[in-house]
Amino acid sequence: MSQAIGLLFFVMIEAIILSIAFVFIFYIASNILVLTCKVVTYYATNAIPWFLKTTAKEKIRNIVDFICAEWIFKFFPNGGTAVFIRTVFVGSTICYLLFLTYSFFATNPLSFFELLPKQLFKIASIYAAVYAAFYARFVSQWTYLSNLYNQIKEAELNTNLNLVGKSDLLYGWMSGFIEDAEDLHMETKEVFATVILNWIAQHPKVKDKYIEYNPCSVLQHMDGTEKFEKLFRKLNNIKKRRP
């Protein structure tokens, strides 16, 4: 029975490793292709397009984001599903690196798979540690955003919106909440998406403040108006999918 479980786990690990290797190779190949297109575009137009103006810091951040599976937020909001997928990806990457390290120093690289059934607890502890780290971060971000929303609602109840100065501050606070939700990848969670859409519908100045505080999004290469329209379309699509 234990041998069957060990063999099953071995097949799962091998499939995950091959998947990670494929994704990594695809990522590198796609980046080479994109870079080639950029260079061709540069020489064809004799001008430096915006996508060639990336700094070394941005490139390092992109690599770290890929390793930490930040790209998953393009498909899922920050939550349980994203935490689980990121755990599988990052945990498998760590195990893969350990396998490469062992294979480099071991006289018989295949002996790693012979030792694998005996190391199940250690491998499981890697996944558990990664999951705990991601989940703890998610909980802290959720708590921060929830507390911020409660503070805004309390201020809204205690503020006379007819007073221009106070209302402008409150609208700026609301637009700041939207930006924080985007930074924490929670703007598309239904509970926050509903709040944001209601604020935009009830207080048109929230949109103005959002655009004012986002004159140009350098990382996304769009101005505040384009960024707002993109966000609004995304939230409306979520609203339409809701039963």
171 with 233, same domain?
Answer: yes
53 with 83, same domain?
Answer: no
> 142 in a domain, yes or no?
no
Over the stretch 122-145, which tens digit does the pLDDT of each residue have?
Answer: 788 888 999 999 999 999 999 999
Domain boundary among 136, 151, 178: 136
**Domain range for 43:** 1-62
What confidence tier does 24 reach under pLDDT thresholds 50, 70, 90? Answer: low
Domain boundary among 29, 62, 95: 62
Domain boundary among 33, 62, 91: 62
> 154 in a domain, yes or no?
no
The count of structural domains within the chain is 3
> 211 in a domain, yes or no?
yes
> 32 in a domain, yes or no?
yes
173 with 195, same domain?
Answer: yes
> 184 in a domain, yes or no?
yes
What confidence tier does 18 reach under pLDDT thresholds 50, 70, 90? Answer: low
> 45 in a domain, yes or no?
yes
Residues paired with residue 222 on neighbouring β-strands, in sequence order: 217
Report the chain's C-alpha Rg in angstroms. Answer: 23
Over the stretch 76-112, which tens digit does the pLDDT of each residue have?
Answer: 888 889 999 999 888 888 877 777 776 666 666 556 6
> 153 in a domain, yes or no?
no
Q: What is the pLDDT, as a whole number, of residue 51? A: 47
> 143 in a domain, yes or no?
no
Over the stretch 138-173, which tens digit does the pLDDT of each residue have?
Answer: 999 999 999 999 998 888 777 765 555 567 788 888
126 with 179, same domain?
Answer: no
Q: What is the pLDDT, as a whole number, of residue 122? A: 78
163 with 236, same domain?
Answer: yes
117 with 176, same domain?
Answer: no
